[in-house]
Structure 1
């Protein structure tokens, strides 16, 4: 056939062939698409765990009030969807292409009931985190999970671990928090061979398992929070590899044992006493821990003086004490880094009188790194020195028997005291000696306006007083 508008001849056979070929290609692509979709779909649904593991999870769901979990917590649970899509469940693929549950995180306030014995059918579990509900019991079958590395349980009631916990040779972290109850650890707990982190928090916790001493070769981190232990556990002093220790207390404990000095590897030490009954009155207490980089003492009754000069690794210090007045922080390293975050003294009482540092001039002017420091100064007067020893004997003098006036002063400082003999020195705030004092009238007219330290040696003792020259 010849087109009227052209010289091109198109045969009907050619049209039919084109249509046939197009239809054939379309069908092939459609078949290919269906094959690919089927492969992807099958692969997605084949990423599932053995039936025994799926059933174990369903048992947990049924035993622990799963129907009332929040929508996010129970997403896809107890459905035909692959277990890998269930909220809080992670799986891994072994060398044979089989998937297994290795992580279980159930975090919901509506968790209620006991952990079922079928949890033993999750043999590849590496991490368990069950929390924020009420867990009534933990079965002995937990001891069959020999691949478990981390166990974290938070419950509103008490928590009691089974004796079979000793079988978990790969366990390296335990965190237990009973928000209103107690924590009971079996004696077999000390047989754990690789435990390096233990974190306990329970308001009714009143004792510490003696078998903990068996962990002295492995335990490096210990946190005991919100407890009522009546005697500071002597077992802690046997944990010679301990590097991190936090003790938060709300009971009647009054002292820290002297054998704490055994913990020479400590890098982090935090003791917080909400009742302000624990006492640490040894000025050189921290010298036993040369590796400390963090100190946190809150609510602890300290001495008036702490010596931190031997702690050359320190970067963070928080000593919120009502009694502390003088700190020796001349450790040779506190002016070398900007990473310090330090606080000394009680925020309300403002009781710090002197802090000795490596660079008093920079500290006094607030130059880095000292601009990150918070010191609650007595009389709101900053007083960084290279040597604060002059302040250490002020408690030996009866201040009512000695008066220094006027202060502020323009030219002459008058001293009124019962004794006749007075001698001493005047220093700048950075510790520089300026002049001797040998009478009850001190002429400072030659000094510039500013703040100075007057140290007096009287018959009644030593007194250090800050004077302001107008």
Structure 2
């Protein structure tokens, strides 16, 4: 009798562990499948099997906590209903053929830590609502056709470690609030249409390891305050319109040795002040 009871408990536990997600969550996944031409994905979902077996879907109990469908031939648009997966911690759709815009409703994904929509065909702006995703650590939107400006509220992302939005059509200036995100380690804004000066407040980004502003339209003097970033290992701010003096330390750190574009469109090297030991007063 004891053995039968043990067997029954084991079976019940197994069924419990195999419990599927809610009907509403399953409906959202099916919406994503249909909206991105799931029948032609590289690795398809077998819709007749438990969701726990679906490629790229990670569950915690009956909750969907991660979707990773990178490089899987998704074609179509991201359905706004995906914002109903409120337990989602990772959404990775890197390197597909996703078009349309970034859904504003993503703000509902309060648990999201990783949002990677890079290497797609997204257009439109970066919704300011993304700045309400307080747990976000990794925001990668590079290699798209995103336009508009960086949201002024981006400084609200106090846990952000990686911001990679290079190779888009982003305009305007770097928001002042971004310089207050002290958790930032990687800031890649290159190959856009960003203008304005690089603020001396860049020195606030004390954990920054990689800075790329390459190929934009920024001007003014390169702040000597960059020398205060002791963790900075990689930097490329060339092919902007920065002018004035720079230090040997910063010129050596820059990948292209501070090669800028002058007002005639000609590539020139910034003058290096070889005897600078202490930062000069820089423009803001």
Check whether TM > 0.5. Answer: yes
Correspondence 1:298 to 2:272: no
Partner of 1:82: 50
Take 1:276 and 1:193, find their aligned partners in 2: how far apart are those partners?
28
1:152 counterpart residue number: 116
Go from structure 1 to structure 2 and tell me whether the alpha carbon gap of 1:137 and 1:53 turns closer, same or farther (over 3 Å shift): same
2:41 to 59, 69, 75: 69
**Which of 95, 100, 104 is residue 140 of structure 1 equivalent to?**
104
**In 2: Cα distance, 1:235 partner to 1:106 partner:** 40
Separation in structure 2 between the aligned mates of residue 153 and residue 180 of structure 1, nearest angstrom: 12
Between the aligned partners of 1:277 and 1:190, the Cα distance in structure 2 is: 26
Instruction: Check if 1:107 corresponds to 2:70.
Output: yes
Q: Which of 175, 178, 198 matches 2:163?
A: 198
Larger Rg: 1
Q: Are the aligned partners of 1:189 and 1:211 in contact in 2 as well (CA < 8 Å)?
A: no
Displacement of 1:236: 5.8
For structure 1, list consecutive stretches of 5 or more residues without a partner in the other structure.
1-31, 94-98, 288-293, 311-470
Of residues 55, 60, 67, the one that matches 1:92 is 60
Instruction: Write the distance in 2 (CA, Å) between the matches of 1:46 and 1:91.
Output: 11
Given the alignment of the two structures, is residue 55 of structure 1 paired with residue 62 of structure 2, yes or no? no
**Alignment correspondent of 2:136:** 171
Relative distance call for 1:221 and 1:236 in structure 2 (3 A) is farther
State how many pairs are aligned. 260
Question: CA distance change for structure 1 residues 140 and 254 in 2, over 3 Å: closer, same or farther?
Answer: closer
- 1:242–1:41 CA distance, 2 compared to 1 (3 A): closer
Q: What TM-score, normalized to structure 2?
A: 0.74
Q: Partner residue of 2:266?
A: none
Match in the other structure for 1:247:
212
- Please report the RMSD computed on the Cα atoms of aligned residues, expressed in angstroms: 3.7
Q: Match of 1:165, SS?
A: helix
Q: 1:181 to 1:172 in 2, by over 3 A?
A: closer
Given the alignment, which residue of 78, 94, 102 partners 1:131?
Answer: 94
**Mapping 1:332-411, distance limit 5 Å:** none
1:145/1:223 CA distance change after superposition, 3 Å: same
TM-score (norm 1): 0.47
**Structure 2 residue 215 is matched with structure 1 residue 257:** no
Aligned residue for 1:425? none
Residues 278 and 185 (structure 1), Cα distance of their counterparts in 2 relative to 1, 3 Å cut: closer
Task: State the Cα deviation string for residues 403-428 of structure 1 (Å, max 9, x = none).
Answer: xxxxxxxxxxxxxxxxxxxxxxxxxx
1:426-456 superposed Cα distances (whole Å, 9 cap, x missing partner): xxxxxxxxxxxxxxxxxxxxxxxxxxxxxxx
Q: Confirm or deny that 1:161 pairs with 2:126.
A: yes
Structure 1 residue 276: deviation in Å? 8.2
Following the alignment from structure 1 to structure 2, what is the Cα–Cα distance between the partners of residues 214 and 277?
Answer: 21
2:55 match: secondary structure: coil
8 Å CA contact 1:45, 1:82 repeated in 2 = no
1:225, distance to aligned residue in structure 2 (A): 2.5
Aligned partner (choices 184, 196, 201) of residue 219 of structure 1: 184
Deviations 1:4-53 (A, max 9, x none): xxxxxxxxxxxxxxxxxxxxxxxxxxxx9xx89x9499649824222221
Paired residue secondary structure (2:189): strand
Partner of 1:185: 150
Q: Which runs of 5+ in 2 are unaligned?
A: 259-268, 279-284
Greater shift after overlay, 276-285 or 202-211? Answer: 276-285
Structure with more of its chain in strand, by fraction: 1
SS for the counterpart of 2:253 is: strand
